[in-house]
């Protein structure tokens, strides 16, 4: 019979928040400075379905639920990486500020194509 190891209680002072916001969903992952995942949340995990997952309100609800867990871990300062064109980007940042976290860096890490996709071949009529 295999026994699970008891999860050790972490105490982290600062963390990195990765926000991936698309038109359909918002994913928030909180990692340590070394990149180990501490907490994560999404609109679907909060119970939203369909087009409501991509709304700024759903993103605010994610940030508020994660901020409660972050305070128990002792996290005070945040670096936020924003990715994607969705509407939940700004509302996540506002929710973390409203929860009393100190935000040191706001980065936009959205990948930008430098040459783009190959265009379709020329149409023959």
* C-alpha to C-alpha distances, 14 to 43, 112, 122, nearest whole angstrom: 24, 28, 53
Which pLDDT score is estimated for 27? 96
Which pLDDT score is estimated for 55? 94
Kindly report the CATH class assigned to 14-108. Answer: alpha beta
Which pLDDT score is estimated for 116? 87
What SS3 state is found at 58?
Answer: helix
CA angle at 22 for the pair 21 and 27, rounded to the nearest 5°: 40
Q: Which residues of the chain have pLDDT under 50?
A: none
CA angle at 27 for the pair 83 and 100, rounded to the nearest 5°: 85
């Amino acid at each position: 019979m295999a026994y699970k190891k008891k999860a050790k209680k972490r105490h982290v002072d600062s963390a990195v928040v990765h926000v991936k916001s698309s038109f359909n969903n918002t994913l928030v992952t909180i990692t340590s400075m070394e990149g180990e995942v501490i907490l994560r949340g999404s609109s679907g995990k909060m119970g939203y379905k369909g087009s409501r997952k991509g709304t700024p309100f759903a993103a605010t609800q994610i940030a508020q639920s994660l901020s409660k867990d972050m305070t128990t871990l002792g996290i005070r300062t945040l670096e936020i990486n924003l990715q994607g064109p969705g509407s939940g980007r700004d509302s996540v940042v506002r929710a973390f500020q409203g929860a009393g976290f100190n935000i040191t860096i706001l980065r936009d890490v959205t990948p930008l194509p430098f040459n783009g996709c190959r265009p379709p071949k020329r149409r023959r009529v």
